[in-house]
Amino acid sequence: MYVQQFFVEGLGCASYLVGCEGAGVAAVVDPDREVDKYLTAAQARGLKITHIIETHLHADHVSGNADLQARTGADIYLHEQAGATFAHKPLKGGDTLTLGNVRLDVLHTPGHTPESITLLVTDQTRGGEPWLAFTGDTLFVGDIGRPDLVGAAAARGLAAQMHDSVFSKLLPLDDGLLIYPGHGAGSLCGKSIGAMRSTTLGFERRHNPALAPRVLDEFIEFAVSDLPEQPGNHTRIKALNRRGPRPLGEVTPRPLPIQAAVPYFQRGAALLDLRPQAEYVRAHIPGSAHLEADDQLSNRVGFVLPPEVPLVLLLADPADYARVVYSLARVGYDHVVGYLAESLETWQAYGLPVTSGDVKDIEAPELKNLLETDNGARPVVVDVREPWEYRQGHVPGAVLMPLGELGGRLGELNPETPVAVICATGNRSQSAAALFGQQGFKTIYNVRGGTLGWMRRGFPLEK
């Protein structure tokens, strides 16, 4: 048996290649849209990909199943309760898939979603019991899957199903069972996923807070409480995965001279500036959205731009083009028309506008000084954390606008009044500040270090 894990930083997505080298066949579990890595790995081990298996319909990223099927001809498998409308082979609990000497037993483990499954993997040359489990978004390292991404109304019912899945179906298995989850640290599909990318059932039994003995009602309260913000566009992403994403196809660089790019802007395309923040602040094209081309791009873009709009990219290095396109495609941003191939100096030479400023990074002491002024420079502090975080303590007078709600609430604020955007550590606030900048707010501060930095300085908190 051969198993290989693939991990996407930022989104925290894990996918897997599992196969039998003797028979030369393999399956890919929960593929993302950058499918070349699976093909390369399979070819290196002499494996033909014959099965594509989804543990559930994902809400945080678009599946690569359509691309992988187009490249391999493999069948796609998904639990029958998913309601998927694309061509696939339905699974149910108790089904078995065979890859040479490798047996995959399907365990229906609803809780994160109604259709969630766990795959128990047995190498029949070694023994008759499962060696490892692909647990999808049911069991993580140090956590379990959140139950609210199907919808808030279904969360408590799914939490009850999760209790049964964990305590009646998974925990009776052997402590030595290796656990390979669908997500690791960075994912929004749990609330405190550990940094390790695999574990054992016995270790989780002893050390996973979610697996502590609880009666059903207590477990439900634990599962639905203190959840992080929901992934951007999660409802749209799940719907896209249900009907089947279109194949992304081969990603090749598309340089756009300025004269070729301007007509796209005239027809409504957006410019996504992916340069480092210092370069953006120094000079940028008015109306552009700014997000750095880092590991958090997939998580942040859904809060700043609508997914249907065509995108022109402004890159610090054109060599980043494919990496950025995949980061956007993973969350359903498929309409990248190319990247701006000429400099801002050339842009200006055509008589096109360039501006500077928009977002200024400040530390907690600078924010405190601004809040003590009374000369028109005093900003409105906008806290973009989740309500449960805000309740634990916030900058006095801060207005709560969770990042997932911010796009629909900007009309509550005056664009002429300075705003200081704060979160826990400064990550979410950067995305929020970009949204304020795109909407024409005059003075925007991003509080580096966030509320944690404010606390460490000994400044007062309001609860």
Give tens-digit pLDDT for 61-77. 999 999 999 999 999 99
pLDDT of residue 406: 87
For residues 62, 410, 361, 290, the Cα torsion angle rounded to the nearest 10 degrees is 40
pLDDT of residue 305: 86
One-character DSSP codes across 257-307: -HHHHHHHHHTTPEEEE-S-HHHHHHSB-TT-EE--SSTTHHHHGGGTS-T
Contact between 350 and 258 under an 8 Å Cβ cutoff? The reply is yes
pLDDT of residue 45: 97
Q: How many CB atoms lie within 10 A of CB 436?
A: 23
Average pLDDT over residues 293-321: 91
* Model confidence at 339: pLDDT above 90: yes
pLDDT of residue 185: 86
Nearest CA to 136 out of 4, 242, 243, 31 is that of 31
> Cα dist. 217→19, 137, 153 in Å?
41, 21, 16
What strands lie across the sheet with 199-200, from one edge to the other?
96-99, 102-108, 117-123, 132-136, 178-181, 199-200
Rounded distance between C-alpha atoms, residue 383 and residue 391, angstroms: 11
Please write the tens of the pLDDT for every residue from 387-435: 888 999 999 999 999 988 888 899 999 999 999 999 988 878 877 887 8
Rounded distance between C-alpha atoms, residue 293 and residue 10, angstroms: 11
pLDDT of residue 234: 84
Token representation of residue 152: 């808030």
3-state SS, residue 199? strand
* Model confidence at 106: pLDDT above 80: yes
395: Cα separation from own chain's centroid: 28
Burial bucket for residue 387 (CB in 10 Å: 0-12, 13-18, 19+) = exposed
Phi first, then psi: what are they for 344, rounded to 5°? -65, -30
Rounded distance between C-alpha atoms, residue 154 and residue 112, angstroms: 10
One-character DSSP codes across 423-448: -SSSHHHHHHHHHHHHTT-S-EEEET
pLDDT of residue 291: 87
Please write the tens of the pLDDT for every residue from 17-29: 999 999 999 999 9
> Cα dist. 248→12, 36, 261, 264, 347 in Å?
21, 12, 22, 21, 30
Average pLDDT over residues 274-289: 85
Of 299 and 179, the structure prediction assigns the larger pLDDT to 179
Element (H, E) at 323: helix 321-329
Contact between 318 and 255 under an 8 Å Cβ cutoff? The reply is yes
pLDDT of residue 277: 78
Element (H, E) at 132: strand 132-136
Q: How confident is the model at residue 232 (pLDDT cuts 50, 70, 90)?
A: low
Average pLDDT over residues 331-353: 95
Rounded distance between C-alpha atoms, residue 139 and residue 107, angstroms: 13
Q: Residue type at 156?
A: R
Token representation of residue 16: 């897997």
CA dihedral sign, ordered 129, 131, 136, 138: positive
Average pLDDT over residues 75-90: 97
Phi first, then psi: what are they for 403, rounded to 5°? -55, -40
- Across the chain, mean pLDDT equals 93
Token match 């196969």: residue? 19
Strands 102-108 and 96-99: antiparallel
Rounded distance between C-alpha atoms, residue 133 and residue 149, angstroms: 23
Q: In 100-215, which ranges are continuous DSSP H helix?
A: 155-164, 201-207
3-state SS, residue 53? strand
Q: How confident is the model at residue 319 (pLDDT cuts 50, 70, 90)?
A: very high
Token representation of residue 85: 């409308």
Average pLDDT over residues 182-203: 90
191: Cα separation from own chain's centroid: 13
pLDDT of residue 139: 98
Q: How confident is the model at residue 136 (pLDDT cuts 50, 70, 90)?
A: very high
Rounded distance between C-alpha atoms, residue 150 and residue 435, angstroms: 26
pLDDT of residue 369: 93
Token representation of residue 135: 């647990």
Burial bucket for residue 345 (CB in 10 Å: 0-12, 13-18, 19+) = exposed
Please write the tens of the pLDDT for every residue from 355-385: 876 678 899 999 999 999 877 789 999 999 9
pLDDT of residue 179: 98
Of 404 and 11, the structure prediction assigns the larger pLDDT to 11
Q: How confident is the model at residue 303 (pLDDT cuts 50, 70, 90)?
A: confident
Q: How many CB atoms lie within 10 A of CB 255?
A: 13
Rounded distance between C-alpha atoms, residue 36 and residue 373, angstroms: 56
Strands 199-200 and 178-181: antiparallel
Helix axes 155-164, 216-224, angle to 10 degrees: 120
Rounded distance between C-alpha atoms, residue 420 and residue 192, angstroms: 28
Contact between 446 and 361 under an 8 Å Cβ cutoff? The reply is yes
